[in-house]
Amino acid sequence: MELNDATTALAALGHPKRLSVFRLLVEAGPEGRTPGELAQTLSLPGATLSFHLKELTAAGLIEGEAHGRNISYRADFAAMNGLIEFLTHNCCGGDDSRCPPTSRGSAKRARSGGA
Per-residue pLDDT tens over the stretch 51-106: 999 999 999 999 999 988 889 999 999 999 999 999 988 888 777 777 776 644 44
Backbone dihedral angles phi then psi of residue 32, each to the nearest 5 degrees: 70, -165
- CATH code of the domain containing 11: 1.10.10.10
Between 30 and 109, whose confidence is greater?
30
**CA atoms of 29 and 106, how far apart (whole Å):** 22
How many Å apart are CA 83 and CA 76, to the nearest integer?
Answer: 11
What is the pLDDT at residue 80?
A: 96
Predicted pLDDT at 102: 64
Region 1-29: mean pLDDT is 95
Q: How many structural domains is the chain composed of?
A: 1
- Average pLDDT score, the chain: 87
Range of the domain at 56: 3-112
